[in-house]
Structure 1
Amino acid sequence: MSNAAQPVWDHAESAPQRTALHGTAGQSWSYAALRDHASTVAARLRAAGIGAGERVLLIAPSVPEFVAAYYGVLSIGAIAVTANTMAPAPELEYIGTDAGISLVIGWHAVSPAPAVAAAAVGVPYWELQRELAGLTAEDLTAEGLATDEVTAVAPVPAPADADTDDTAAILYTSGTTGRPKGAMLTHGNLHACASIYQRIHRLGPDDRAGIALPLFHVYGQACILATTMRVGASLSLLPRFDPHEMLAVIRDRRLTTTAGVPTMWNALLHAAGDADPADFASLRLASSGGASLPGEIKRAFEERFGCTILEGYGLTETTGSATVQVAGRPVAVGSVGAPIPDCEIAVRSLDGAELAPGEIGEVHVRGPVVMKGYWGRPEATAEVLHDGWLATGDLGRIDDAGELHIVDRKKELVIRGGYNVYPREVEEVLYEHPDVVEAAVIGVPDAHYGEEVAAAIALRPGASPDAAALRAWAKERLSAYKVPHLVAFVDTLPKGATGKILKRAIDRSLFESSTTDSTAG
């Protein structure tokens, strides 16, 4: 198995002038240029004494320079530890200490947090700048980026050899319980993910991809970046999501494929206005992940843009992939597709017994995309990995066609008066309301029922908040115990770096003044 950086060098050799990356403000790199930039970073790392297996913390937005630094790290056999650009210094310090990093590389426009964290951990800090990352092989010096001393270095002619099980990247999970854990993704994991998506979506070098997803997250890093580099296509990057800017990229770059999360598709729908659908005629495929995609948003987007949205399911621990819908194959409502090639899905009860189709239990995944384990945490690894099977912590069911339906997170299940309420089911209904733009359903403590169903709602501009009317509308479509009896209206819901709604960040005090419909049962 070759190094996960190898495709960049291969395409630079076979098609050096083919476009690899588009950034903002007209920035464009060929595959030859990307290889030279990555080789520059790799050479500087070697000159600084960074060797195979050492961890480098990389904090940068979705810009071409991130890609150069990332593949520069991987190409020498070192391990890229990627982190959120919005992470405060204490969080970066925790990651750096936990991973035992040797160096921090931070984008020049990011807050001082990376430099502060580097100092706290006691490792060097390199500032990644556009003009520095843009140096060519003819100007290989460590000036500015590597050390204060100017040291002549030689280019890296090819990526170092890597075994399938060698760790390529460590991505820290969100840490909804306890401190975040670093999922170790191997060179084999990254190759497998890219190869699988290349086959499923029939991607080739003539495709033009574009995203506003963060590359420090598994979705952008593995599912999109690694796949695009493998096939030798071009990738347009937006460092932050703005629906109007994304629409412009789709139109101006004539994208054939894009990827995002449900909140992005919803925002694009509202931003499109009366735009001419012909502007998006080149777009044939949109991949959705990161969270469940409400059926109403999927239908509206496909009708508006004339483009198929294929939903998939995966975790950081499965290199972002586990199941996916396939173009041309009928999709059952609520399905996230069948297992990706070479992978297996099982739904198990709490005692580990495999359940029959239609029964709800914990989803388990086995295959070449499953992580190596959690960095430095053998006990935590043993809790979720058994005989190659990963226990995901998600509740789901497999239908008669073999497709997976995610019901909810185990920890997000609401138990109201002894009845199980799956927030996703309720949210699907709420998104059908014409005034609802965003919805998140959670459980809040209740003296009588144990937990009460609560919904935080963002309405379309001009809509009037009316909790009683919304509850009455929902009661016509849901069993009474599933109706969100506590409703709070907000301007927008809290979101993570990918745009995924963060339920744990919803202020529970919002519901203190909300009234409960005592007749709901």
Structure 2
Amino acid sequence: MNLSTDVADRIGQARCAPDAATDLPWTSFAEFFRSRFYDPRLVTRNFLTYCDDDRRLRHTYRYAEFGTLVEQTAERLHAEFGLRRGDRLATLLFNHDLTLLFYFAAWTLGLTVVPLNIEEPTDKKRYILEHSEAAAALCWQTGYEELTDLQRDLPNLRNVIAVGDGGIIERQGAGLKRSRSHRASTTGGAPGCRLEDPALIIYTSGTTGPPKGVVLTVANLLADADAIADWHGFGLTDRLMGVLPIHHVNGIVVTAVTPLYCRGSLVLNRKFKSASFWQRIHEEAVTCVSVVPTLLEFLLEADEDITPYKLDRFGGVICGAGPLLKETAVRFEERFGVPIRHGYGLSETTCYSCFLPNDLTPEEHRRWLTGYEFPSIGLAIRHNMMSILDEGGKPLPEGTRGEICIRGRTVCAGYFKRDDANAAAFQWGWFRSGDEGFHLLDERGRPYFFISGRLKELIIRGGVNVSPLEIDEALKSHPAVKFAMALPFENRYYGEEIAAYVVPMNPAAPPSEADLLTHCRVKLPFFKQPKVILFGEDIPYTSTGKPKRLELKGRLAERLAPYRDRQFYDPRHGTQRGTP
């Protein structure tokens, strides 16, 4: 990745470790791999259980067994397909035991994995394959023809490799641009591999323009796994369950890398299912699950009786990657008696950068989760520093809103072939998250951080910044509302006014617009209240549970256009009172 000197310096400053007390003891992923899969204490212990409810599959692997399969797979990728250190391997797969197998095999070889969501449209797949300069692509057998069609226009894509339940499917001719060559054994890892080798390029969905490829190194993955395991006290007896897609950093880092790092085990599900969630935790003796707020809503909606299950080893849910509403947090913890380990991070900071402490009293936990305008995302975990900075990069005082900025060992190595994006995101020795937030100090002087919204998603009404998350929560507190999202629309008087998109709990008996507007008048000052309510049936989320607010704004622009020249008045006063 060619970077200008200035941009490279900025990235280097943002990746400086805040402390040197916890240096990683390995020189490459292959060395880390051997420290786990060759550990005599682990060889007979369970490492992975894979469950596919739809197909009634359950596969289990001990450490020694899985480690052998990884080495055999790495050997095959190297010998049969000519893949070597520095090559990029695209994966168009889903949650499957083989997907993890290919990730670990690639990293022991020094390859960079480029995970793609199989549900992406063809043009986006083409863009990522071309932009990443992928040398090979692994895909499920049902997607093979689509990729070989794309391959004709992608000169760097030497091999398209089809995969089925039994592993790599032998195919002659199609999908292969290079004859197979037999090379030296790769046992022990490819020579020259380092911790700073790229391990992943994660393409994030851009709100404008093409997606950006976030480059994460082996050191990034291991440092974040170390921080997550340290914060939550994960160890040999922990069993983490994955229900999030492993084409995304949350699924990869929390589901795959952290259990291996802490010498524990993992339960990987083909997909999230409310109907089997609690039973699986019971049957597999799971100790922690990583979720997003959307899944908490699904579990609350399912409202399963969990009293028949033995959940004494279950320590709670790690939750982040999307806005958590206070009302959702209270309902979930009270309904199921399970603590929410709330945190925050981005693909650009590997995964998690902060969490609420786990040693808080129940009263302290509830206060930080629900006692302020937004749920706290907690304290910075090790290998990270966090700060709230103004537009000039200066630290802001307690309670003042600014941009959440992060520096440390989990900060990515930059965006792949995007100097423009790197120059914008890396400034003042920090990574700029693009999220608005603030911090408050506890009795010990520790800064608890809060996220109040995406800076690009803030509604600017009459020059005043309004966080849509607060409006979402007010609407969601109405008993007839299943989903709600505030969004701006163009208005002649205030630049932007506020609308809301609502999915009713019962489509056959939806609440009226007047009822919802009245509900919001009790919860919000006039300048924050939605002025127009639009109803719909679909819930616009990404595959990782993040609301598509900006996409929805564009989709509804035509329906909101008639309100552009309308001035809205507070019905209690007949004026625009309440506007600061």
Q: 1:510 to 1:201 in 2, by over 3 A?
A: farther
SS of the aligned residue for 1:177 comes to: coil
SS of the aligned residue for 1:476 comes to: helix
Range moving further from structure 2, 460-469 or 227-236? 460-469
Range moving further from structure 2, 500-509 or 181-190? 500-509
Aligned-partner residue type, residue 517 of structure 2: R
Query: Higher relative CO (CA 8 A, sep ≥ 6), structure 1 or 2?
Result: 2
Partner of 2:313: 282
Equivalents in 2 of 1:17, 1:234: separation in Å? 12
Superposition deviation, residue 57 in structure 1: 0.6
Q: TM-score, normalised by structure 1?
A: 0.92
Equivalents in 1 of 2:71, 2:487: separation in Å? 48
Range moving further from structure 2, 237-246 or 420-429? 237-246
Partner of 1:16: 43
Report if aligned partners of 1:360, 1:395 keep a CA contact under 8 Å in 2: yes
Superposition deviation, residue 388 in structure 1: 4.0
Choose from 523, 545, 548 the match for 1:499: 545
- Asked if 1:476 corresponds to 2:509, the answer is no
Partner of 2:513: 467
Aligned-partner residue type, residue 97 of structure 1: E
- Asked if 1:218 corresponds to 2:243, the answer is no
Report the count of equivalent residues: 515
Choose from 404, 409, 415 the match for 1:368: 409
Q: 1:194 to 1:410 in 2, by over 3 A?
A: same
Choose from 341, 358, 364 the match for 1:310: 341
Equivalents in 1 of 2:545, 2:262: separation in Å? 27
Q: 1:410 to 1:508 in 2, by over 3 A?
A: same
Aligned-partner residue type, residue 286 of structure 2: L
Equivalents in 2 of 1:52, 1:372: separation in Å? 18
Range moving further from structure 2, 476-485 or 11-20? 11-20
Choose from 343, 352, 366 the match for 1:321: 352
- Asked if 1:128 corresponds to 2:128, the answer is no
Aligned-partner residue type, residue 377 of structure 1: R
Note the 1:242-253 alignment, pairs <5 A: 242-253=273-284
Q: 1:390 to 1:397 in 2, by over 3 A?
A: same
Equivalents in 1 of 2:141, 2:167: separation in Å? 11
Note the 1:2-401 alignment, pairs <5 A: 2-4=27-29, 6-14=31-39, 15-23=42-50, 24=52, 25-47=57-79, 48-110=81-143, 112-122=145-155, 123=157, 124-132=159-167, 156-160=186-190, 162-276=193-307, 278-329=309-360, 330-331=364-365, 332=368, 333=370, 334-386=375-427, 388-401=429-442
Q: 1:276 to 1:511 in 2, by over 3 A?
A: farther
Equivalents in 2 of 1:236, 1:499: separation in Å? 20
Superposition deviation, residue 504 in structure 1: 2.6
Per-residue displacement from partner, 1:179-206 (whole Å, max 9, x unpaired)? 1111110111011000001110111121
Report if aligned partners of 2:151, 2:175 keep a CA contact under 8 Å in 1: no
Report if aligned partners of 1:142, 1:153 keep a CA contact under 8 Å in 2: no
Superposition deviation, residue 42 in structure 1: 1.1
Q: Percent identity?
A: 27
Partner of 2:4: none
SS of the aligned residue for 2:153 comes to: helix
- Asked if 1:519 corresponds to 2:569, the answer is yes
RMSD after superposition: 2.6
Report if aligned partners of 1:184, 1:371 keep a CA contact under 8 Å in 2: yes
Gaps of 5+ in 2: 1-25, 571-575
Gaps of 5+ in 1: 136-140
Q: 1:126 to 1:299 in 2, by over 3 A?
A: same
Superposition deviation, residue 410 in structure 1: 0.8
Superposition deviation, residue 362 in structure 1: 1.0
Report if aligned partners of 2:95, 2:245 keep a CA contact under 8 Å in 1: yes
Superposition deviation, residue 347 in structure 1: 1.1
Superposition deviation, residue 207 in structure 1: 1.4
Superposition deviation, residue 54 in structure 1: 1.0
Aligned-partner residue type, residue 29 of structure 1: Y
Choose from 481, 485, 504 the match for 2:531: 485
Q: 1:3 to 1:116 in 2, by over 3 A?
A: farther
Report if aligned partners of 2:29, 2:195 keep a CA contact under 8 Å in 1: no
SS of the aligned residue for 1:284 comes to: coil
